[in-house]
Amino acid sequence: MKILTTFPSAGEFEKAKQVLEKVALPHVIMKPAPGFSLVGLPALVIEEEDRGKLLGGGQGVFITSGWVDFHQPAQSVPNNTPPEFDEDIFGTVAIMVLQPCTADLTKLRATAHFSGDLSPVFPFMNSLMRDAFYNAHSQTFTFMEGHRMIAVYPRRVAVAKTNDIVDTWRVLEMLRVRFNECWKNRANITPSTELRKCPPALEIYYRLPKINCGECGERMCMAFALRLWSGQVALTQCKPVFGGTHGHLKDALVEICGGLGVQKE
Ligand code: SF4
């Protein structure tokens, strides 16, 4: 079984490369360049059984974003040079966390941080993307791209259910271009703070016990889902799921809430 990791900075990747040279392990380095070079750093693929030799050999210390099972990417990195923007609101990007999705271990979940602040762009993006959900209270901009769930915060994004590392880079590049183009054209866009709350709240509701027990303080699970989506209650207040009779729903709920940018606590 092969495993893959990427790095939170170019410096950590360089340190890992030096260790690899010292221990002479077979490995493959996947590069995001040229098409995704502004959002990704190289990823390292090794045999799972070699991880101990790489990390425990005392040859050097480096930080990774996390290890996941390697799946052959279904798409290639594009050959084009990525567009640049005079006023780049995104800034530099780093994948800080890479892990398998809780509900589907064949898919990836990543958290990437930006050096920029996207909060001024959210109302303009909310006006453009009618299928997205902007929550001004929690400063979260959420949407689905196919089966992927994307929650954008002012300085980070949580992407759930990407197919592989190349797909993750592609999503980050798509976000970088969309947000920068929107910001560039903002003079022609009427900003909107409309909260289109029902569809995400329904996604949460579908995964709740739907027994209307009232233990969370709401009489109906639907009311709890709506308040959860608008950031007024915590997911863990649903006692049947957290410590009660419906614990089997926990992973799916945590997954959807993470993907929608809803905090668990
Ligand atoms: S505690 Fe959970 S199951 Fe009970 S009403 Fe609230 S959301 Fe529904």
250-259, pLDDT tens digit by residue?
988 887 787 6
Contact 112, 156 (CB under 8 A): yes
Of 252, 170, 162, 244, whose CA–CA distance to 206 is shortest? 252
Pocket test for ligand 1, best of 204, 210, 213 (most atoms within 8 A of CB): 213
Q: In the structure, what pLDDT confidence band is assigned to residue 140 with cuts at 50, 70 and 90? A: confident
Pocket test for ligand 1, best of 205, 206, 210, 218 (most atoms within 8 A of CB): 218
**End-to-end CA gap in the chain:** 35
User: Of all atoms in ligand 1, which is nearest to the CA of residue 221?
Assistant: 8
How much distance in Å is there from the Cα of 220 to the middle of ligand 1?
7
Helix (H) or strand (E) holding 111: strand 108-114
Q: Is the pLDDT of residue 229 over 90?
A: no
Q: In the structure, what pLDDT confidence band is assigned to residue 181 with cuts at 50, 70 and 90? A: very high
Kindly report the protein residue whose alpha carbon is nearest to atom 2 of ligand 1: 238
pLDDT tens-digit profile of 65-89? 999 999 999 999 999 999 999 999 9
Contact 134, 195 (CB under 8 A): yes
Give the chain's mean pLDDT.
89
* Highest mean predicted confidence (pLDDT) among 77-86, 157-166, 211-220: 77-86
Contact 156, 113 (CB under 8 A): yes
More confident residue, 138 or 129: 129
Taking the C-alpha atoms of residue 6 and residue 95, their distance in angstroms, rounded to an integer, is 8
Taking the C-alpha atoms of residue 100 and residue 66, their distance in angstroms, rounded to an integer, is 9
Helix (H) or strand (E) holding 206: helix 198-207
Residues with CB under 6 A from ligand 1: 208-209, 211-216, 218, 221, 224, 238-240
Of 128, 262, 158, whose CA–CA distance to 207 is shortest? 262
User: Of all atoms in ligand 1, which is nearest to the CA of residue 214?
Assistant: 5
Listing DSSP states for 7-61 in one string gives: -SSHHHHHHHHHHHHHHT---EEE--TTTTTTT---EEEEEGGGHHHHHHSSS--
Q: CA quadruple 214, 219, 222, 226: dihedral positive or negative?
A: negative
